[in-house]
Structures are given as C-alpha cells and as structure tokens.
Chain A
Amino acid sequence: MKILVPLKRVSDPDNANKVKVTGGKLDASGLEWKPNPFDEYAVEAALRLTENGTNTKARVGEVVVVTFGPKEAETTLRAALATGADKAIRIDALDDALDGDVVARALKALVDKEKPDLVLLGKQAVDGDSNQVGQLLAEYLGWPQATFAASIKSNADKALIVSREVDGGALNLKLTLPAVVSVDLRIVAPKSVTSIHTPATHTYPDGVRFAALMAIMAAKKKPMTEVKLADLVTDAATKIKYTGFELPPSRKAGIKVKTVAELVEKLKNEAKAL
C-alpha cells in the first residue's frame, strides 16, 4: 500500500506565550517549530500499515510525507524520514499564502501524480485548529473519507474499517480504497492499527515511535524533492482572508467574595451571568 501523509510544522505549543502580533500580523520569528502532533500520529499509523510490526526494518509498502513550507520545513520532513517514512516532498510555499483550501487543491494535484492508495492525515493542526484539509481533499478527489479515526483495520490493503469515537460508543465505517482518513490521538494506542502484515498478537508501544540514531543518519540519503506550489495549482488565491490578529486580552485579577449572597449579586449585576 502506498500512503501519502501531509505533515505540517507548527510553532511549539509549549511556547504559545511567545507568540507575538506585530502590526496586526502573526510574528513567527524566534518560535521553535515542531511537527503537528496529529500529523505525527498519522505518520505512525501509516508506518504501522506498511510494515510487519515484528520486523520493522523490512518495508511492505511506501509512506510519502509531504509538507508546505520554506526550505527550513525540510527538518520536519527529515524527522519523519528518520522514523521510517520512505520519501519526502516539500511544496515550496509560505505559511501566510496558504489556507485549507489551497492546501487541499494542491494536495489533490499531488495525489493525481503520486497515486497513493490512501491519504492519511492529522484531524487538525494545533496552530489554526481549522480541521478542513482532509474533508476538502476527499471532496476534490471524489474519494470516500473517514475523519477522526481512532483505529484502522486494513482488509488486505484493499479496504479499511475505520473506527471513530462518537458520543456513547464507536462508529465503524468501511471504506474501499483509495480513500482519505484523518486520525485522532487514539490511533497510536498499542493495538489501534491492524493489517495482514503484522501478526495479531503484536503489541506496539503506546505513542509515536522513537527515531533511532542510525535512522537519523540515514534520513539524509532518502529522497527529498521540492515542488513549486504554482506547478500544482494555477489559482493560488486563498478563500480565507486574514484581516488582523490580536492577542486575547489578559485576564483581570479575581476577587474574593464574603458571602453567597454577594456572589449571587455579582454574578447577576456585574458578570451578568444569571
């Protein structure tokens, strides 16, 4: 099975307090970059689908990771190569020239070229939290889609049973490949991904795998290609226009009330919550 995994770098969520707004624009200088965690889960799930879990060195499929970004974004791709992905594509673009729609249209064009059996992506990026690309891409491709996958069972690499968590239980969807699937946190639980390549008895460690040192060193030798955004989409206009950014107002200090009556009074008259 060939799987395409779109991967986004996001500013380190632990450093959210360092985000600055300068002249109504987000200022990313000095921020540290990390792979979007949900995309890392997608890479992990894709690797599990294309290997025998008891011998992960021998690949039984192909995982192609793709990102949109400047040259420095290749670091994020190389980290994915170091955990086991087979090749990487960087679509040269700047973050502020993109929105979910342009990304989905560019990915559609890339899918037409690369012809993967499956596009696996994170349910959303933790910076903008838009949660759009997977759905738009499925629509543009005319492929079946499943979102928020908590587990994936591959039926001989021809069809998938995707389980998504819903209120009060799990919803199982059967999809015939090719398809688009977006993943949620639980996809990296020890038994969330199953395929004919890995014995049913195998248990993965919880979470995203470590990159071994030798794999980091070997990642440099794996193919990394650059594609221009314009080669994928003729119309690069974004649908979303950002008119301005501002930081949320800082919270006012709280007060201590002496009695319940005072609390009710304040909730009613000051906070207008009652």
Chain B
Amino acid sequence: MEKPVQAINRYKADLRDFNFLLFEQFKLQDLCGKAPFEAWGEEEIRSSLTECYRFAREVTGPLNAIGDATGCKIENGRVIAPRQFEDAWKKLYEAGWISIGVSPDHGGAGAPLSVAVLTLELLAGSNAAFAMYPGLAHGAGEVIAAFGTEEQQHLFCERMFAGKWGGTMCLTEPHAGTDVGSAKTTAKKNADGSYNITGTKIFITGGDHQLAENIIHLVLARVEGAPPGTKGLTLFIVPSVRTSPDGTLGERNDANVASIEHKMGINGSATCVLNFGENGKCIGWPVGGEEKLNQGMPQMFRMMNGARIAVGVQGVAVASSAYLNALEYARERKQGSSITHWKDASAPRVPIIDHADVRRMLLDMKCRVEGIRALAVKLAFHRDAVSVYGATDEKVAVYHQGQVDLLVPLVKAYGSDQGFRVCETAIQTYGGAGYTRDYPVEQYCRDAKIFSIYEGTNHIQAMDLVGRKLGQAGGANLQSFLGDVSKFVAAQSSHPVLGDAVKRLGKAQEQVGATAMRMLMWFQSGNLGMVPLSANRVLEMMSELTVAWLLLDAAVIAEEEKKKVDAGHPDFAFYSGKTQAALYYARNVLPGVEFKGKLLEEEDKSPLDIPNEAFATV
C-alpha cells in the first residue's frame, strides 16, 4: 500500500549561526539605525528571524513533502498548484516575510539585505518549490519598481508585493536558453501605444497557478525592426488578465499555458510552456514606456544580481536542512561498535555519529553550509554598506559595490553546486534510509539540482567571473578583495590555534592572484580556448579562498568569545564548532586551491583536442 504523505515539518535551521554572522562576525548593528535602515535594530532582526523560522516550521515546512508528492496539474487549461499552497500563500503575505527587503514606498519593511537573505533561506529551505511562487512575484515586482513608469509602478508594484498578483520572468524559448539573444517572441505596436505579443516561452516558473487572481508576466520580446541579438530585446509587462488603470480585472489576455514539465524536483513549482498571442490578442506594454524599447537586457541585468543571490541562497538553504537532518539521524541510528572494540561481537552498538567516517561527512557538510551562508551574508553586507554610505561617501560605496559584483557569481554558482553536493552527502550519511521517502534528504537532493541550472547555468556564472568581474574597474575590485584577504592573513598568521591554517590561506590568496594574471595573459595572447575551459575551476578556487577566509575569520572571533564562557555553556560548543569547521576546511579543501592553480598552468586542452567522434562509438 502507498504510504500517505503527511503534513510533517522536517525543516531545521540553526539560528545561532544566523545571529553569529549578523552580530558577531559582520556586525550589522553598525549599519542598523542609519538611513535607510532607521527602523531596524538588533532586537527587530532577532525577533524577525525567530518568527520567520516559526512560520517556516509551521506553515511552509509541513507542505514540502506534500507539494512534492502532489505536484502540479493542468485542469481546463489552467495550472493547479498543490491545493495546500493556497493557504500558505495567504498566510505568507499576511505575515509579510517576502517583502521584508522591499522599500517602504511599496509597502515593504525596508530591511537590510543581510537580513532578507536569511529570511529567504528560511522560506526556501522549508519549501523550495512553494517559495518560487512568491519569489518570482517579488522579483518581477522589483523590476517594475526599478524601471517602470509611475503609472506602471502604481498599478503593479504594491499588488505584486502584497501577493494579490503573482509574477514571472519569461526569457527562455525552445531555441533560446543560455542564448537569450536569439529569442523570437515578437511585439507589434498597436494604435493605442500597446503592443501585440506573439511567441512561445518555455520553462516559466509560476507561469500559471491559482494562488493569485492575476499573474504579471515580464516577457522579453523583439519589437518589429529591432536589431538582432540581445540589443534588440524589450521587456514587456503582460498581465494574464487585463486590468484597467485602477486595477479592476477584465478579460483574459491570450497568454495561456500549453503544458507543464514533469521534473526531477521542485515538483510543487509549476514550470510552464506559455503561448503568447495564439489568437492574436495578447497585449503588453514596455517596462518604463516607449523610451525604454530595446532596454530589456540592461534592465534584466540590473535585477539579475538579486535573482542570482537568491538562487545561491536556495542552495545553502536546502543543504543546511539536509545537514541538520542527517546530524539528527546520526545521533540516533545505532550501528556497529566503536572501532576500538572491533573484534568484540558483543561490544555495545554505538550511534553512527561515533564512527570516524560519519563524523567526517558531518563536518564536511557543516563547514560548507556555514561557509556558504557566510559568503552570502558577506555579499549582502557589502550591499547594505552601499545603501548606508552610498549617499555620503562615494569611495566607500564604490568599494562595496565592487565587492558585490565580484561575489555574485560565487554565491550563485558555489552555493548551488555545493548545496547539491551537501544533499548528496546527507543521503550517504543516512545510508539506505536516506534514499527512501521516509526521510527528507532524497527530496532535498532532487530539489537542489535545478539551482546550478536556472538563472544562468553555473558555467555562465564562471564566464561572468573570469570574463567580466575579474577585470572590472581595471581589476580594482579583485585587488581590493585580495587586499582584504591579505590584511587578515597578516593579522592572524601567528594565531596560536589557527595560525597554520591562516598561512595556508595566504598561499591560496597568492595562487588566486597568479591565476587571475594567467587568465588575463590567455585573453591577451589570444589563447581563448583556455578561458572557458578553466572558468569553472577558477570560480571554484576563488570561492574556496573566500569561504576559507570567512570561516577562519569566524573562528578567530569564536576563539576569543570562547574564553568568555565556561565549558558547560552552550555557546562554548558553538564556538568550538566554528574553530573545527574552519580547521577542517582549511586543511582539506583550501589546499586544493594551490593544486588547481598548478593544474591550470599545465594548460591541458584534451577536452578540445578530442575529436567529436572519439567521445564514443555510439
């Protein structure tokens, strides 16, 4: 008999780590109370995290396995998301967590991004599929808030931020995935200034659902006569139900779902094929009005930072709960005896957490999860510093914005890649139980795979890093970054506990600098084949350097704080965990940076040299 799927929460988060990052490591309290974060103080932030975590456990978490088992359906030409999501949607908007970072001008709470990435982690970790619906509505709302005309903002933003209306981003077409510029969807101007949209978009997240009364599609299309490629793309607002300027709903707008995908994971999230203008009656308006024609890509790019950070956070969100569930299981599951009694068949059975290899897996997951979370919050903190200092100190703002730009591809790609791998390690930690649906980790693993693919595949992130970000501002952003790391190395390389690890960090920092020079040389000498071939590896090296730095920085703080509490205090264990996580990462992952750098020097081109027909005989 089929086991019924029950509404049980499996989601876990370690809020102690969240608060450590915000208040002990990055010191967000220094930015709190300053414009534009006047309303935010430590107490509001702690309460928000606590309450949002409660929401995640009680509302979205219990629906995670149910959404996976139910999936989405098409009935009478309309998508039906899992029914239980309707109530969760309503409650989410009543509670306000999605709009925590939205400007108060549009009804949001104006929180620092450092806080918003963590509430996002709670929502995405408890139910990645569900969180996509409000996530896309929010992202689309932000585009209109940034670039829309005043009337467009007035009509759409608040409704989208309040969950009355949903939203989507429609870029992908059957022949235009990574290559967005080859989109064929067309827009033809009507006499009243609106445009007729015709074309097919695929893989559209939340392209249709019953959770909101209207869905506002943002569609990349080419106006008749516009240039080919990305330069000729315009972003159109295409409501699924037509609206009058006061928001009254009219007839449907000839933007219809043709089918939905059947996927490996995030099954509760509808991934739709959308037909625009099948009957010639799909109306849209350019975001920002007539003078913003052909500005679609720059507009999208401005918003892409936010979306890419969000995807990296999805990665760590799901991975974190996978780790914490595996940890709980490892403490309870008894199997085998201690290796010190390996000959004695009657020796007491021990929980698997006592076995060295299980401990290795647990610590491996811990340092990756906490390191990537630190990376995401570090990025967000730079962004918040821009918000606070931007108006008064241009130099400081330029520095912080440069770091944001540099770190975005790392958060997106390293967060999503490692997030998936942590989920896989979590299954391995469980053994056979982890492979079954009795435990949440197999779903986490399936859900997490998509993160490295959408919002620009991770190779696209790597190319963004090596092709654009490393050389951005004449290389100044990279130089500042490397300078920050070497300042830390100089200050801590004789630390009594962490000194050796810090010295290793110094070596890795030098290696990343040298590798960046080599990339530049390849560009300059026309050795272009090596660039994409090495890009993913370079992104990984840079990510590992950054994560090791942040973990060691945390450990230095933890070692100090540990002195202030006695050994029985729960914080003593927490701080000890910080030190061990940093040491493990520095000893087992960080040395790979130098090694990978050496490999790059060998300029292996075998993937280019192998003839196509030599890959296989079939």
Contact = CB atoms under 8 A, between A and B. Distances in A.
A213 B570 contact: no
Given A78-B43, A82-B51, A216-B51, A30 B95 contact: no
Interface in B1-48: 39, 41, 43-44, 46-48
16 contacts: A30-B570, A30-B571, A32-B570, A75-B46, A79-B47, A79-B51, A207-B58, A210-B91, A211-B51, A212-B94, A212-B96, A213-B96, A213-B100, A217-B39, A219-B47, A220-B43
Interface of A: 15, 18, 20, 29-32, 75, 78-79, 82, 207, 210-214, 216-217, 219-220
A75 B571 contact: no
A15 B569 CA distance: 12
Most buried by B among A18, A31, A79, A210: A210
B52 to A, nearest CB: 8
B109 A217 contact: yes
A161 B214 CA distance: 46
Contacts of B569: 29-30
Most buried by B among A78, A207, A214, A220: A214
Contacts of A15: 570
Contact of A210 (B39, B54, B99, B109): B54
A216 B97 CA distance: 11
B328 to A, nearest CB: 13
A94 B41 CA distance: 26
Contacts of B249: none
A78 B48 CA distance: 12
A221 to B, nearest CB: 10
A214 B109 CA distance: 7
B599 interface: no
Given A32-B570, A78-B43, A207-B58, 9 more contacts: A20-B568, A29-B565, A30-B569, A82-B47, A211-B51, A216-B44, A217-B109, A219-B47, A220-B43
B114 to A, nearest CB: 16
Contacts of B565: 29-30
A103 B39 CA distance: 35
Interface in B91-124: 91, 94-97, 99-100, 109
B156 interface: no
A212 B109 CA distance: 11
A78 B95 contact: no
Given A78-B43, A79-B47, A217-B39, A210 B55 contact: yes
B54 A213 contact: no
B54 to A, nearest CB: 7
A75 B109 CA distance: 20
A21 B537 CA distance: 53
A217 B44 contact: yes
Contacts of A75: 43, 46-47
Contacts of B39: 217
A214 B161 CA distance: 14
Contact of A213 (B91, B97, B568, B571): B97
A206 to B, nearest CB: 10
Contacts of A213: 48, 51-52, 95-97, 99-100, 109
Most buried by B among A30, A214, A217: A217
A85 B371 CA distance: 39
Nearest to B15: A32
Contacts of B48: 213, 216
Nearest to B570: A30
Contacts of B91: 210
Interface in B171-204: none
Contacts of A32: 570
Contacts of A82: 47, 51
A220 B45 CA distance: 12
B152 to A, nearest CB: 25
A82 B96 CA distance: 13
Nearest to B50: A79
A211 B47 contact: yes
A140 B39 CA distance: 43
A18 B570 contact: yes
B47 A78 contact: yes
A214 B96 contact: yes
Interface in B44-98: 44, 46-48, 51-52, 54-55, 58, 91, 94-97
B251 to A, nearest CB: 32
Contacts of A31: 570
Most buried by B among A31, A32, A213, A219: A213
Contact of A216 (B47, B58, B99): B47
A109 B95 CA distance: 37
Contacts of A220: 41, 43-44
Nearest to B109: A213
A20 B571 CA distance: 14
Interface string B272-301: 000000000000000000000000000000
A29 B569 CA distance: 7
B332 to A, nearest CB: 15
Contacts of A30: 565, 568-571
Most buried by A among B47, B55, B109: B47
A78 B91 CA distance: 22
A82 B52 CA distance: 13
Nearest to B41: A220
A211 B94 CA distance: 9
A20 B567 CA distance: 12
Interface in B534-593: 565, 568-571
Nearest to A214: B96
Most buried by A among B97, B99, B569: B569
B20 to A, nearest CB: 14
Contacts of A79: 47, 51
A185 to B, nearest CB: 16
A178 to B, nearest CB: 32
B120 to A, nearest CB: 13
5 nearest interchain CB pairs? A213-B96, A30-B569, A30-B570, A211-B51, A212-B95
Contacts of B99: 213
A213 B47 CA distance: 9
A205 to B, nearest CB: 8
A22 B431 CA distance: 41
Contacts of A219: 47
A7 B423 CA distance: 41
A211 B91 CA distance: 11
